[in-house]
Amino acid sequence: MGTMIAIGGGELNKSETLAIDQYIVQSAGKKEPKALFIPTASYEAQGYIEAFQRVYGEQLGCQTDILYLLDGATTPAEMQSKIMSSDLVYVGGGVTKMMLSVWREHGVDQALKEAYEAGVVLSGLSAGAICWFSEAYGSEMNTEDAQEQQERQCLQGLGLIPAAFCPHYNEEEYRSRFDQWMLSGGEPSIGIGLDNHCALVVRGTEFKVIRSAPHAGAYRLYSDDRGLHKQRLDQEQFADIEELLRIG
């Protein structure tokens, strides 16, 4: 099983997450790891691609490659080969719902699960962090519609981590809506909130928190019949993931 590194937010092109990016590259365990960038969520924005190539290629010494999906030119075999031959995969931020839809259309979700089982390092920021969890709250979720329908709307991720997830947790809009959303589930559940410049690392059955800014936080939330409970996570050394995922 591989390693998953989910980043709450930050600007790659401004080196705001550089310490985390360095950790991602080191986790691959290679001198010049093959780093695959999946920019689907940003509609394959050229500036984002260039930022990845500059940081992961020129600065951090990776052999970079890009997985393009939106033009339809990449065959399923090429997609599978790019993912499985990588040492690390980095998924960029953007529109999560669209990204997951495109992935499922092309079979990328299943290929990434296979890569994780094969030991490939999976990582990403914002939408690229949301995707690894079982369900998530994202900025594109229409909370007014959810209230009108009286049901909890969520984005279904790949489920590598059986928890709900919220990026940019230091931002009031995300934090307050995610907290309310956690309470709307109707049954006990676990949530993870990550501030910008903070990342959750899951390695097999262990987890820890890393940061590129000293005060960036990670939070474990759970809801039960007494309400919402919140705990700041300060595990800088690996701990048993059951401590993260237990309710109570």
The domain limits of the chain are 3-245
Confidence of residue 137 (pLDDT cuts 50, 70, 90): low
Q: Using one digit for the tens of pLDDT, what is the confidence trace for 82-130? A: 999 999 999 999 999 999 999 999 999 999 999 999 999 999 999 999 9
Identify each DSSP E strand in 77-217 by its residue range. Answer: 88-91, 121-125, 133-136, 155-156, 161-166, 189-194, 198-203, 206-211
Confidence of residue 155 (pLDDT cuts 50, 70, 90): confident
Contact between 35 and 65 (Cβ < 8 Å):
yes
> Is the confidence at residue 149, as pLDDT, over 50?
no
Q: Using one digit for the tens of pLDDT, what is the confidence trace for 22-36? A: 999 999 999 999 999
CATH number belonging to domain 3-245: 3.40.50.880
What pLDDT was estimated at residue 139? 59
Locate 30 and state its tokens: 């290679």
Locate 183 and state its tokens: 């309470």
> Is the confidence at residue 150, as pLDDT, over 60?
no
Contact between 179 and 221 (Cβ < 8 Å):
yes
Q: Using one digit for the tens of pLDDT, what is the confidence trace for 184-202? A: 876 668 999 999 999 999 9
Q: How far apart are CA 160 and CA 177, in angstroms?
A: 24
Q: How far apart are CA 26 and CA 98, in angstroms?
A: 30
- Range scoring the smallest mean pLDDT among 2-16, 29-43, 45-59, 170-184: 170-184
Q: Where are the alpha helices (DSSP H) in 118-192?
A: 127-130, 143-149, 172-183
Locate 144 and state its tokens: 């007014």
Report, in angstroms and rounded to the nearest whole number, the Rg of the chain calculated over CA atoms.
17
What pLDDT was estimated at residue 138? 62
Is the Cα torsion angle 21, 22, 28, 31 positive or negative in sign? positive
**Which amino acid, one-letter code, is at 79?**
M
